Amino acid sequence: MAVEKRVPLLHRTGLHLRAAGRFAETAGRFEADVTLTVKGRSVNGKSVLEILTLGAGPGVELVISADGEQETEAVESLARLVRDNFGED
């Protein structure tokens, strides 16, 4: 059963290239399918290019979901990354 968490995107420039790269890199560390959803549009959370197509700006709600062996760890780690502004600021 998939795990899901909703997290506000508070980074001042939104989900830009560096942030998307960190998200995809972190997602790739887990044995789980990761999906990122913004405003009803879902993409593969392990693909930088797909993440960038979301055009997620500051203030939007990100829905992070994962399904697989490490689903809980993946969602928790990715939610923490977003809350910590991708290690920036």
Catalytic sites, residue numbers: 16
Can you say how many angstroms the Cα of residue 53 is from the centroid of all Cα atoms in its chain? Answer: 13
> Measured between alpha carbons, how far is 29 from 65 in angstroms, rounded to an integer?
15
Number of CB atoms found within 10 A of residue 43's CB: 17
